[in-house]
Amino acid sequence: MTTTLKAHPIWQNLSQALAQIDLNQIARQHLQDCKSEIHGYWDENDQLYETIRFKQTPTPQLISSSIGVTPNQTGNTYWLQLRYALNISLSVTVGELLLILNDSLEVIDENWFINVQSPYVVAVIDHN
């Protein structure tokens, strides 16, 4: 006998809960809080950049979301992972932002994937 969650009401409940939250606003607020700058960015070639700045603030667009449960001794810890494309215009994407939120919708981790070669990005290399 195979058990499946395909038609389980959990998906409807989750969809309804997420529909009540402006998920793109979470990323917009995060960009605003960090003044659209990233400090201490390592690229895929292990190059360290002191600062990454955007020539204009990108518009985040949610491209995926997932939920997670981490079991521990006092109960479960729940988190939400949101992945955004960072767009300068409809046709230009300068990277992605991955945010991990706790069950209070507070950012507990972030990962950036930035095209440092983009003409819309100012990447300052750390020479130390």
70 lies in some domain:
yes
Helices marked H in 4-127 — which ranges? 9-19, 23-33
pLDDT tens, residue order, the chain (128 aa): 677 778 888 888 888 888 899 999 999 999 999 998 999 999 989 999 999 999 999 999 999 999 999 998 888 999 999 999 999 988 899 999 999 999 899 999 999 999 999 999 999 997 76
Number of structural domains (the chain) is: 1
Q: What CA–CA distance (Å, rounded) separates 99 from 65? A: 10
Dig out the tokens for 1 from the structure: 């006998």
2 lies in some domain:
no
Residues facing residue 81 across a β-bridge: 66, 100
108 lies in some domain:
yes
pTM of the model as a whole: 0.88
* Residue 112 lies in domain: 9-125
Dig out the tokens for 87 from the structure: 């767009």
